[in-house]
Chains A and B, each alone.
Chain A
């Protein structure tokens, strides 16, 4: 009786829930199953316990990828947010049409597919005739092979990354700026606070929650960086990570193990290791935040 009354509700959510169960919940469960098995996709999976996890953690590619990732995140996330904050304050200081114009200009790179930002920059970075080397050559510098020199590769990626993410974060910060009550600034002005003091003591503290979101979101996506380093290094499943694995990142390593090495169990385990890292660090950030608020 009650079920029949509610039947229309269930029918309406059924398409979403069925697809969600089939392509989200079930994969997670089966992924967990495979992560404990040795499986090449054809033969029957062989139970290996935590074998896959151990193999990954002890592999050289894993530690290389993790070191790259740590350096990358330590630079790209804070830098992306600082640049985005400056851009947002800059855009916000204009009014009307100019404000819109600069906001749209700064946002433009976000709309481009990530694969394109990587491929366009590949040519900008190209040795000898690339745009950047042409400019450097103008100043008399030697040609640098940005994407093949282990000293510059990571920074070349970070530049592309900030080029894209700054506009994205800026738009979110701008929305946060609009929510700060103007009375606060008026009061500060009456107290004789300068523009700089207003920014430091009102704007930035009031932006706290927004900056925290941008930081967490940026962190989570940086942990899973794939398209840009993959394409900047011209990777394929046969060979990826660039010269001496200088641009090897965990998701690339995972995808390589699955589709290059046909080790699906190992790749599934890799996904769980990465998720565990993401979830625990994110949880830690939330904990620190709520502890500081108290």
Chain B
């Protein structure tokens, strides 16, 4: 109560203004996503003038559209491919980067600085220069239209390594020494000491990797050239192409289904995602 008494009327105007602006911007940010949901959950026949799709109007219409898209198109298969692609990429990135980060952050060996320096340089090299030659070597390995072609070239993530090194540096060297004196092997120290201590960083990296892999459009576009290897991004792209004769309802259903996994992740892990992005910015 005291705070309200002390705030003058100009402060109150300011507060109302602030809220109005913030809510308006929030609407702009969220509305396209909201609108997509409304288009899906509305009877397809209703003209926009009668139902402007400002809120969901029919659950059953949405469900039947989703069923139709899974039954009539290769969408379900693409979904499976995208999930496999994301999960395998996460597993690969976490394993390979945490093994290397463990060494780079906690031990010293000849060549450590040089090797780490080279990896750091990679952070500054734009994808534009690597994508074509990486495609060429992947193609020479015969990995076009294969899962390994999608996953393996993206596993050695310099960003992932850098992030985990930052975290593992904080592990006290005494703990490593103590574990060693207790007779733990190198691999055991990694598994039982280092990994549990940087669990938070691993989860954050996993989420960021998921969002990145699920949203990757460019790499699958050139690696998956056959329809049975298409990812969700490509199928969504095809649905939207000028030559496709899909209605806005079908396209938005495809869009919505592609948006669900990252949005779900965001609702569950919002703090981790926001912190992860903020950290990659302030420490980078």
Determine how close the nearest CB of chain A comes to the CB of B163; give it in whole angstroms.
Answer: 13
The reply to whether B130 and A27 contact each other, CB–CB distance below 8 Å, is yes
Cα-based distance from A224 to B126 in the complex (angstroms): 8
Residues of chain B with a CB closer than 8 A to A227's CB: 217-218
The reply to whether B217 and A113 contact each other, CB–CB distance below 8 Å, is yes
- At the interface, yes or no: A63 with Cβ under 8 Å from chain B? no
The reply to whether A31 and B129 contact each other, CB–CB distance below 8 Å, is yes
- At the interface, yes or no: A1 with Cβ under 8 Å from chain B? no
Pick from A9, A106, A123, A124: contact of B103, CB under 8 Å: A9
Cα-based distance from A10 to B139 in the complex (angstroms): 29
The reply to whether B22 and A94 contact each other, CB–CB distance below 8 Å, is yes
Residues of chain B with a CB closer than 8 A to A124's CB: 32, 35
Pick from A28, A109, A172: contact of B33, CB under 8 Å: A109
The reply to whether A175 and B186 contact each other, CB–CB distance below 8 Å, is no
Most buried by A among B186, B190, B243: B186
Determine how close the nearest CB of chain B comes to the CB of A65; give it in whole angstroms.
Answer: 12
Pick from A9, A24, A90, A115: contact of B109, CB under 8 Å: A9
Pick from B132, B133, B152, B273: contact of A111, CB under 8 Å: B273
The reply to whether B266 and A264 contact each other, CB–CB distance below 8 Å, is no
The reply to whether B274 and A108 contact each other, CB–CB distance below 8 Å, is no
The reply to whether A271 and B129 contact each other, CB–CB distance below 8 Å, is yes
- At the interface, yes or no: B241 with Cβ under 8 Å from chain A? yes
Q: Mark A100-127, 1 if CB is under 8 A from B, else 0.
A: 0111111111111111110111111010
Give the contacts of A25-64 with B (CB-CB under 8 A).
25-28, 30-31, 34, 41
Instruction: Give the size category of B's interface with A.
Output: 35 or more
On chain A, the number of residues with a Cβ less than 8 Å from chain B's Cβ atoms is: 94
Residues of chain A with a CB closer than 8 A to B255's CB: 116, 119-120
Determine how close the nearest CB of chain B comes to the CB of A45; give it in whole angstroms.
Answer: 11
Segment at the B interface, from A12-20, A149-157, A182-190 = A12-20
Q: Which residue of B lies closest to A227 (CB)?
A: B217
Residues of chain B with a CB closer than 8 A to A102's CB: 22, 25-26
| Interface residue SS majority, chain A | helix
Residues of chain A with a CB closer than 8 A to B205's CB: none
Determine how close the nearest CB of chain A comes to the CB of B9; give it in whole angstroms.
Answer: 17
The reply to whether A122 and B240 contact each other, CB–CB distance below 8 Å, is yes
Determine how close the nearest CB of chain B comes to the CB of A79; give it in whole angstroms.
Answer: 14
The reply to whether B217 and A22 contact each other, CB–CB distance below 8 Å, is no
Q: Which residue of B lies closest to A39 (CB)?
A: B136
Give the contacts of A207-244 with B (CB-CB under 8 A).
210, 213-214, 217, 220, 223-224, 226-227, 230-231, 234, 236
Determine how close the nearest CB of chain A comes to the CB of B136; give it in whole angstroms.
Answer: 6
Residues of chain A with a CB closer than 8 A to B13's CB: none
The reply to whether B33 and A223 contact each other, CB–CB distance below 8 Å, is no
Residues of chain A with a CB closer than 8 A to B146's CB: none
The 3 closest A-B pairs by CB, nearest first: A113-B215, A172-B281, A27-B133
A selection of 28 A-B contacts at a CB cut-off of 8 Å is A13-B115, A19-B155, A23-B137, A23-B152, A24-B122, A24-B130, A26-B137, A30-B137, A31-B129, A105-B26, A108-B263, A111-B263, A112-B263, A114-B217, A115-B217, A115-B233, A131-B35, A171-B281, A172-B278, A175-B282, A210-B281, A213-B281, A213-B282, A224-B128, A234-B241, A250-B128, A271-B131, A275-B126
A16-B99, A98-B22, A171-B278 given; 9 more Cβ-contact pairs under 8 Å: A13-B103, A15-B100, A31-B133, A91-B22, A120-B36, A236-B241, A254-B132, A275-B125, A275-B128
Interface residues of A (CB under 8 A from B): 2, 6, 8-10, 12-13, 15-17, 19-20, 22-28, 30-31, 34, 41, 87, 90-91, 93-94, 98, 101-117, 119-124, 126, 129, 131, 134, 163, 167-168, 171-172, 174-176, 179, 210, 213-214, 217, 220, 223-224, 226-227, 230-231, 234, 236, 250-251, 254-255, 258-259, 264, 267-268, 271-272, 274-275, 278-279, 282
Interface residues of B (CB under 8 A from A): 18, 21-22, 25-26, 28-30, 32-33, 35-36, 48, 52, 95-97, 99-100, 102-104, 107, 109-110, 112, 115, 118-119, 122, 124-139, 152-156, 158, 161, 186, 190, 211, 214-218, 222, 233, 236-237, 239-243, 248, 251-252, 255, 258-259, 262-263, 265-266, 270, 273-274, 277-279, 281-282, 284
